[in-house]
Structure 1
Amino acid sequence: MAFISFIYIPNKSVSAILAVIFVAGAFTTGVFVVKNWKDHYGLKEVTTTGATRTIYPVSSSNGMSTVIYSPIGTANKHQVYVYKTSANAKKTTHTQVSSTTKNKVIRTSGKSHIVTKTTRWAYKNDAAKIWFAFTGQDGQYIRRENKIYINKNWLVLSAAQAKALKKEMSSKTFQAKLKTQAKAYVTAQVKAAMTKDPSMSSADQAKVEKQATAEFQQKAIAKVIKQIQAKN
């Protein structure tokens, strides 16, 4: 435009003034375009919350519902969480593998689910939309936060811990030891209950036995998990 005003406007003073204005305008535009690219001038952060998604455990063996996580990199600053999207899903799903994704685990007494918040750049106003429409900055992704609500009765283990737990639970030596300890624990609980109530019926004894078996299994597994977590 400065060149055109110089060539086609007869009045040299006017053409010179217009040329200066055009050059100054082009320079100013360039400066703000660079600021838009570099400093996101004319843009603002907009965060949207996605729909709540129910999640299911990777495995539910031995009555244990488990969600697994794996660290990204060696610093272990970021983790990827692995889960299933349905009870019958054959394949697992995981959170985004990205350093700009933050995963926050929250224990809950309700259903396990994920809520994702995504932050992107957006124009501050209509003027910014007009001036910077061609830069392609609008709608660009900035960061993401996954709030992972996991039922308090579920296990949250690293991939290494889950592997170690599976190996330990499938060990014949461990199973034999567990069986012996379980028998002694249940017998002691039933004996204590009958001492307290000598007239206890067979049905009530069976209930105590069932409850004691469940209690022992829960305590035994919790002990193994604690040992594994201390090592891994």
Structure 2
Amino acid sequence: MIIIVLTILAILTYVSWINIEHVPTRVIAGVISMALLVASIWLLTANMSNHYGMKKVTTTTEKTIYSAGGSKSPAGMLITQELGTKSDNYVMIYADREDGKAKAHFVPDKKNMPESVNKTATYKTANVDKATVKTVTTRWEWRNHFFKSMLGFGGEGHSLYKQKATVTIPDNTWVALSAKQAKQVTAKQKAAAQDKTAVAAQQKQMREAVQAKVAAYMKNNPKVSANDVADYTREATAEMTADAMKQMLK
């Protein structure tokens, strides 16, 4: 709409100053049309340079994520790859569903780099029960219908201002690994699997350690339910598996 308005006002300004013979009428019409033309140009310039007529609208979403190592492993796994050096901005591999396949998230879109620059993703560990990704998105939206109808010719509405995603994983039952570390752990696990006697001994040791922790838990909580015991057993197994993976990185 603003382009049409500018065209009409430019024509009216020209006609007012050139074609109107009556001087008072010429001056009045010329000044008014020129003032409106200047105001329209200012409105367009202000919108293009400072998003005049728009406001920032922030939305937050949060969802559960699942291990990159699949559901068979008791411990969760998050694979990370930092973009650049000390940028605290990562591509991360995890699954969106418990039975889903792990895939890379937050990969920059090379076809739309201006928007990708405004997107960042990081991760942290915390004392939580499940892994989640929280995404905070801020977009430019029109203040009202007038500004949208006047200035919304270039699709500026709903344009991204910034987006930050934060992946939070449990500090005791998940492990965050770089792509290099993930290969290192996989290689060590394959090498260890060749010695079946050692594998059996390690599995027995872990079972006994988990049983000891569960026994202590039940002793300290004599009225605990069977479901609570099962949940604690899974948590203890996941915690010890995560500890074993962390030891492989040393």
Relative to the length of structure 1, the TM-score reads 0.69
Residue-by-residue CA offset, 1:12-55 (whole Å, 9 max, x unaligned)? 221233113212321222122112111112221111123x3321
Change (3 A) 1:80 1:216: closer
Aligned to 1:209: none
Could you tell me how far apart the structure 1 residues matched to 2:242 and 2:158 are? 49
Root-mean-square deviation over aligned CA pairs = 3.5
Contact 2:56/2:141 (<8 A) preserved:
yes
Unaligned runs of 5+ residues in structure 1 are 190-213, 228-232
Which is higher, the Rg of structure 1 or of structure 2? 1
Contact 1:33/1:135 (<8 A) preserved:
no
Residue-by-residue CA offset, 1:194-221 (whole Å, 9 max, x unaligned)? xxxxxxxxxxxxxxxxxxxx79866543
The count of corresponding residues between Structure 1 and Structure 2 is: 201
Change (3 A) 1:132 1:35: same
Aligned to 1:21: 32
Q: Given the alignment of the two structures, is residue 55 of structure 1 paired with residue 65 of structure 2, yes or no?
A: yes
Q: Single out whichever of 26-35 and 104-113 deviates more from structure 2.
A: 104-113
Contact 1:78/1:99 (<8 A) preserved:
no
Aligned to 1:211: none
Q: Which of 162, 166, 173 is equivalent to 2:186?
A: 166
Q: Which of 100, 103, 111 is equivalent to 1:92?
A: 103
Contact 1:114/1:146 (<8 A) preserved:
yes
Per-residue deviation, 1:103: 2.3
Could you tell me how far apart the structure 2 residues matched to 1:125 and 1:218 are? 52
Residue-by-residue CA offset, 1:36-89 (whole Å, 9 max, x unaligned)? 111112221111123x33211110465332111112234544111111112222
Change (3 A) 1:25 1:155: same
Relative to the length of structure 2, the TM-score reads 0.65
Aligned to 2:248: 224
Q: Which of 72, 78, 82 is equivalent to 1:67?
A: 78
Residue type of the alignment partner of 1:103: A
Aligned to 2:6: none
Aligned to 1:101: 119
Aligned to 1:133: 152
SS in 2 for 1:171: helix
Residue type of the alignment partner of 2:43: F
Percent of pairs with identical residues: 24
